[in-house]
Amino acid sequence: MKLLLDTCTFLWAIEGGGELSEAARDALADPDNDVVLSAVSAWEIAVKHALGRLPLPEPPDRYVPAQRSARGIDALPLDEDAALQLVRLPPLHRDPFDRMLVCQALAGGLTVVTPDAEIARYPVRILW
């Protein structure tokens, strides 16, 4: 299974996983699953850090790639096909970062690892 981490899921996973559901922890630990972090999540982390809403032990441009790499999580760029999925989405979720994750999941057939009930309202596979 190819898993797309929601931003909060990535942050919780690198902090030790205490906030993750048992199913999410198991899926992330399963070597048969491919786990990816979107460039959209890296962007969200950088924005929130710059606004002072997300303290990190080092700047996001070093922290995110280092944490991703240490856990075997691949980077997922945002491509045109995924971005253009946005025109097909109903306005169920107000967060633009989460809407783009939904677009990437739709375009790539990915399962989103998230506790966000608003994301679950879209026709994407959710794991939590």
Q: In what order do the strands lie in the sheet with 74-76?
A: 74-76, 34-38, 2-5, 111-113, 125-127
Burial of 59 (0-12, 13-18, 19+ CB in 10 A): exposed
State residue 117's pLDDT score.
Answer: 96
At the second CATH level, the architecture of 2-127 is 3-Layer(aba) Sandwich (3.40)
Q: Give residue 24's pLDDT.
A: 98
For 81, the 3-state DSSP assignment is helix
pTM: 0.95
- At what angle are helices 60-70 and 7-14 packed, to 10 degrees? 70
Query: For position 69, what pLDDT does the model report?
Result: 97
Per-residue pLDDT of the chain (128 residues; tens, 9 = 90+): 999 999 999 999 999 889 999 999 999 999 999 999 999 999 999 999 999 999 999 999 999 999 999 999 999 999 999 999 999 999 898 999 999 999 999 999 999 999 999 999 999 999 99
pLDDT for 20 equals 97
Query: What is the DSSP-derived secondary structure letter of residue 87?
Result: G
Q: Which amino acid is at 64?
A: V
In this structure, the number of other CB atoms found within 10 A of the CB of residue 49 comes to 17
pLDDT score, position 17 = 84
Q: What pLDDT score does 126 carry?
A: 98
- Alpha-carbon gap, residue 126 to 9, rounded angstroms: 12
State the pLDDT at residue 71. Answer: 96
Instruction: For 113, list phi and psi in degrees, rounded to 5.
Output: -95, 105
